[in-house]
């Protein structure tokens, strides 16, 4: 703890201090989206857009919180599991042997064999096999 903070709070200087933030705000900082008007698209399992503002935006259809830097706010909106569409697409196109992203299940996994040779596409939608 900084001596000034210790004096102001009466907490010993030896007290460990840990800071935290919203993971997306840390990602925005790492991506360089730190100044007002600099948006960032997060394309993970949850996909959302973050925009840095100079004033809060109450009542917006998105959510707004304090930003990662003094005098900034972050406005964001997202959709849970929308980024997982890549895994779904891999499954429905039956691509074999592709690495699955590390996720909640833990560890890297591979798509199971589906009985179709690699590179062979399934029939187009609305057609019957052998037609």
Answer yes or no: is pLDDT of 29 > 50.
yes
pLDDT digits 0-9 by tens, 34-48: 888 888 888 777 787
Among 5-9, 22-26, 85-89, 101-105, the range scoring the smallest mean pLDDT is: 101-105
Residue 80: how many CB atoms within 10 A of its CB? 10
Residue 128 maps to a domain: no
Residue 106 CA to chain centroid, in angstroms? 17
In this prediction, residue 9 carries a pLDDT of: 94
How many independent structural domains does the chain possess?
1
Nearest partner of 100 among 113, 87, 112, judged by Cα = 87
Confidence (pTM): 0.50
Residue 94 maps to a domain: no
Residue 57 maps to a domain: yes
In this prediction, residue 101 carries a pLDDT of: 52
What's the domain range around 67? 12-83
């Amino acid at each position: 703890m900084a001596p000034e903070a210790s004096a102001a709070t009466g907490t010993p200087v030896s007290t460990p201090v840990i800071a935290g933030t919203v993971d997306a705000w840390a990602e925005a900082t790492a991506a360089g989206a730190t100044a007002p008007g600099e948006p960032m698209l997060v394309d993970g399992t949850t996909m959302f857009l973050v925009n840095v503002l100079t004033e809060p935006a109450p009542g917006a259809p998105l959510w707004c919180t304090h930003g990662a830097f003094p005098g900034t706010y972050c406005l964001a909106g997202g959709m849970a599991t929308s980024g997982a569409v890549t895994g779904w697409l891999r499954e429905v196109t039956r691509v074999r042997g592709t690495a699955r992203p590390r996720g909640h299940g833990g560890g890297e996994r591979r798509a199971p064999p589906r009985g179709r040779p690699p590179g062979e596409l399934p029939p187009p939608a609305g057609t019957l096999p052998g037609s």
